[in-house]
A and B are shown apart, each in its own frame.
Chain A
Amino acid sequence: MSDTVDVLIIGAGASGAAAAWSLAETRMRIVCLEQGDWPRSDRYASTTRDWEARRMGEFAYSPNTRRAAADYPVNDDDSPIKIANYNAVGGATVLFTAHFPRFHPSDFRVRSLDGVADDWPIDYQTLEPFYAENDRMMGVSGLAGDPAYPPKTCVLPPLALGRSGETLARGFNALGWHWWPSDNATASRDYEGRARCINLGNCGGGCAQGAKASTDITYWPAAVRAGVEVRTGCRVSEIRCSDAGRATGAVYFDADGVERFQAAEVVILAANGVGTPRLLLNSVSRAFPDGLANSSGLVGRNLMFHPCAVITGVFDAPQDGQRGPDNWLWSHEFYETDPARGFVRGYILEANRGAGPAQSALAGLSSGQVTLGADHHASLRRVFDHTVGLVAITEDLPEEHNRVTLDPVLTDAHGVPAPKITYRISDNSRRMLDHAVARAGEALRAAGAHTVRDVTPLATGGWHLMGTARMGNDPARSVVNAWGRSHDVKNLFIIDGSVFVTSAGVNPTCTIQALALYVADQIKARLASLFD
């Protein structure tokens, strides 16, 4: 098919779904190209006895481990944090834990407030209505009144505290620290055709219950009903551009491996903070010899993860084990900047359930808490169902040397260059991680943990991919403008985590989707003059 569509969206994950749904009301012809397929919830890990093994294989976070047909390889050898993603309709929301914190107002003004990085060209209030709209579409559980946030309403009641939550709450209370039930895009009650959470645990292996708001069961059904076409198994290799500097459409390989071209009036990139710069850098033309939309030279630069630490405590009393949503409680005690801590910006601590028996054994063997041989059974029983964790998600500040480039050798199955990651954890992040590990250990001990261990940094924690096509008002210092349109290419928009100016210290999906809705709203409001 080569007839021209009005809007071509590349990527059917968190942001592509939200934008498609929002734009569908315009009755424009909208096509989304997705390299993966529709997920099958009846095949998710928790439906079979070998669910722990499948979490490490076909549902592994790393595409280099999964090596599925939908995946492209990533050269992340030069990064202490490895890339995590998922390629399917729903994207990474199929495997995410649905932890759904908004940014704080201060996250948009880091230069003004803390003298580092850059302010965003938009603020919290700009995104607030889109956060709320996204909460309704995703069905977010939570509790109003959190003193860490400006007032907001919650769509569904909070997820249950459970034994593990009570344990952590008592620890935080003993220290006088903030905690609150998390905003989580897992339905605590039946909601909009989705059944309530039944505590399968194992959210990262896909939610067979359909309680977790992956976009294949939230935005996409509504968008498809409204006329949006999703073409699966279609891997985009480049975006073509006219000599006049307009995007003309995308070249892609269809499910049969046939190379095709889809012409479009507007192209929207929603391929995540690694996939989007990969495509832009691979889209070379006379008008853009250094990659599409890259006159600033910033495409691929300023890659931000959230360097993470996992701190676990072992308790005498039984806890919830792996039963229940993975993340259901947070502490923002150390979120806002305090210069006395020795670093700028801050981090969130989020509660983390225990693991299944095999994962408990493997983690315990790595940490030395579980042994091999005669004492194996006793040592395993000390940690299994007796462990609760905290994950520290630290704010990663933008640095141009942290970047995505095209690998000169490695390619995907269609010969498209793979992304190459070059990344270092900054001194500020390391100080923040040290602080977080120490504070989380205090909280766990105050909660009664007799043993505390940490994994720092979490090498497999490259879930949050941000900053590689940043937003800004200055075309020399940013890739897209304040409403997601490329400075260079007037009919090219970017709506995924690439546009983040800074990373904040919380999971980004909620903000990625709010931004996608905001950009879609701007497109709708400016249709008459969209390319001016």
Chain B
Amino acid sequence: MTAFTDRDLDILRRLAGRMIPASAEYGVPGADDEAIFADIVRTLAPAAGTLSPLPARLADAEPDAADPALRPILTAVMLCYYRDDRVLVSLGVEPRPPFPKGFEVEEGDWSLLDPVRARPRLWRDAGRM
């Protein structure tokens, strides 16, 4: 299996960091953070054969989310960034899988149905065959 070269990894790290930079305001790392970037590289490894060599233009250009060539990288960056504990906690999300704990959803105000209950029927009588 083809692997990313050091040059590819340098371009990829700089690109990821520009896609999602660190933020002091939100207390989160950038996507070029060591642990997150390692996850990104692992995720993209099966596609290294088709992505490598990465174009030099990616090293410094502003990333364009609409660029089809960026799609696999963009997808990997988002999937890996948003499963990092530090990032999830900053979003108010418990860093855990949904199962088995699950989540609470409020029952809601069923009196909102009252005006609908008062409506005449909407369905048409189609008769019998």
The answer on a CB contact under 8 Å between B113 and A180 is: yes
Complex CA gap A47/B123 in Å reads: 41
Could you tell me the distance in whole angstroms from the C-beta of B101 to the nearest C-beta in chain A? 8
Complex CA gap A148/B107 in Å reads: 23
The answer on a CB contact under 8 Å between A372 and B20 is: yes
Query: Which partner residue on chain A sits nearest B76 by CB separation?
Result: A53
If A51-B98, A109-B127, A361-B82 touch, whether A332 touches B122 (CB-CB below 8 Å) is yes
Instruction: Specify which chain B residues have a CB less than 8 angstroms from the CB of A125 in the assembled complex.
Output: 128
Cβ-based interface call for B112 (8 A): yes
The answer on a CB contact under 8 Å between A149 and B108 is: no
The answer on a CB contact under 8 Å between A178 and B116 is: yes
Cβ-based interface call for A445 (8 A): no
Interface of chain A residues 349 through 389 with chain B (CB within 8 A): 356-358, 361-362, 365-366, 371-374, 376-377, 381, 384-385
The answer on a CB contact under 8 Å between B82 and A161 is: no
- Mask, B20-55, CB within 8 Å of A = 1, is 110101101000000000000001000000000000
If A52-B83, A358-B79 touch, whether A336 touches B104 (CB-CB below 8 Å) is no
Instruction: Specify which chain A residues have a CB less than 8 angstroms from the CB of B19 in the assembled complex.
Output: 372-373, 376
Complex CA gap A109/B125 in Å reads: 10
Instruction: Specify which chain A residues have a CB less than 8 angstroms from the CB of B106 in the assembled complex.
Output: 160-163, 166
The answer on a CB contact under 8 Å between A200 and B99 is: yes
Could you tell me the distance in whole angstroms from the C-beta of A257 to the nearest C-beta in chain B? 25
- Mask, A162-194, CB within 8 Å of B = 1, is 110110011011001011110000000000000
If A53-B79, A373-B19 touch, whether A336 touches B99 (CB-CB below 8 Å) is no
The answer on a CB contact under 8 Å between A377 and B28 is: yes
The answer on a CB contact under 8 Å between A147 and B103 is: no
Complex CA gap A208/B96 in Å reads: 15
Instruction: Specify which chain B residues have a CB less than 8 angstroms from the CB of A335 in the assembled complex.
Output: 122
Complex CA gap A180/B75 in Å reads: 36
Complex CA gap A109/B129 in Å reads: 9
The answer on a CB contact under 8 Å between A104 and B63 is: no
What does DSSP make chain A's interface, helix, strand, loop or mixed?
loop
Could you tell me the distance in whole angstroms from the C-beta of A54 to the nearest C-beta in chain B? 10
The answer on a CB contact under 8 Å between A362 and B20 is: no
Set B88, B93, B102, B124: member contacting A199, Cβ < 8 A: B102
Stretch from A8-16, A116-124, A390-398, A464-472 forming part of the interface with B? A116-124
Set B23, B87, B100, B115: member contacting A173, Cβ < 8 A: B115
Complex CA gap A13/B122 in Å reads: 32
Could you tell me the distance in whole angstroms from the C-beta of B41 to the nearest C-beta in chain A? 14
If A200-B98, A200-B99, A201-B103 touch, whether A179 touches B79 (CB-CB below 8 Å) is no
If A47-B97, A106-B126, A376-B21 touch, whether A160 touches B75 (CB-CB below 8 Å) is no
Query: Which partner residue on chain A sits nearest B28 by CB separation?
Result: A377
The answer on a CB contact under 8 Å between B116 and A179 is: yes
- Mask, A74-105, CB within 8 Å of B = 1, is 00000000000000000000000000000011
Instruction: Specify which chain A residues have a CB less than 8 angstroms from the CB of B104 in the assembled complex.
Output: 199, 323
Could you tell me the distance in whole angstroms from the C-beta of B4 to the nearest C-beta in chain A? 19
The answer on a CB contact under 8 Å between A376 and B20 is: yes
Complex CA gap A145/B116 in Å reads: 10
Cβ-based interface call for B6 (8 A): no
Interface of chain A residues 474 through 519 with chain B (CB within 8 A): none
Cβ-based interface call for A242 (8 A): no
Instruction: Specify which chain A residues have a CB less than 8 angstroms from the CB of B110 in the assembled complex.
Output: 161
Instruction: Specify which chain A residues have a CB less than 8 angstroms from the CB of B92 in the assembled complex.
Output: 385
Chain B: how many interface residues by the 8 Å CB criterion?
A: 57
Instruction: Specify which chain A residues have a CB less than 8 angstroms from the CB of B87 in the assembled complex.
Output: 357
If A51-B97, A384-B91 touch, whether A160 touches B123 (CB-CB below 8 Å) is no
Instruction: Specify which chain A residues have a CB less than 8 angstroms from the CB of B127 in the assembled complex.
Output: 109, 112, 123
If A358-B78, A377-B26 touch, whether A324 touches B103 (CB-CB below 8 Å) is yes
The answer on a CB contact under 8 Å between B126 and A121 is: no
Complex CA gap A126/B63 in Å reads: 58
Set B26, B74, B100, B108: member contacting A365, Cβ < 8 A: B74
Query: Which partner residue on chain B sits nearest A360 by CB separation?
Result: B82
Complex CA gap A105/B19 in Å reads: 52
The answer on a CB contact under 8 Å between A106 and B124 is: yes
Cβ-based interface call for B60 (8 A): no
Could you tell me the distance in whole angstroms from the C-beta of B99 to the nearest C-beta in chain A? 4
Query: Which partner residue on chain A sits nearest B74 by CB separation?
Result: A365
The answer on a CB contact under 8 Å between B121 and A147 is: yes
The answer on a CB contact under 8 Å between A122 and B103 is: no
The answer on a CB contact under 8 Å between A356 and B82 is: yes
Instruction: Specify which chain A residues have a CB less than 8 angstroms from the CB of B97 in the assembled complex.
Output: 46-49, 51
Instruction: Specify which chain B residues have a CB less than 8 angstroms from the CB of A323 in the assembled complex.
Output: 103-105
The answer on a CB contact under 8 Å between B88 and A357 is: yes
Could you tell me the distance in whole angstroms from the C-beta of B14 to the nearest C-beta in chain A? 13
Query: Which partner residue on chain A sits nearest B110 by CB separation?
Result: A161
Could you tell me the distance in whole angstroms from the C-beta of B29 to the nearest C-beta in chain A? 11
Set B91, B113, B122: member contacting A357, Cβ < 8 A: B91
The answer on a CB contact under 8 Å between A200 and B102 is: yes
- Mask, A185-223, CB within 8 Å of B = 1, is 000000000000011111000001100000000000000
Query: Which partner residue on chain B sits nearest A126 by CB separation?
Result: B129
Could you tell me the distance in whole angstroms from the C-beta of B116 to the nearest C-beta in chain A? 6
Taking A104-B126, A147-B117, A373-B18 as known contacts, 8 extra A-B pairs with beta carbons closer than 8 A to each other, sorted by chain A number, are A53-B79, A109-B126, A112-B126, A162-B108, A165-B108, A336-B124, A365-B74, A385-B92
- List, sorted by A's number, 10 A–B pairs whose CB atoms are closer than 8 Å: A47-B100, A105-B126, A113-B124, A160-B107, A161-B109, A166-B109, A181-B113, A198-B100, A208-B98, A333-B122
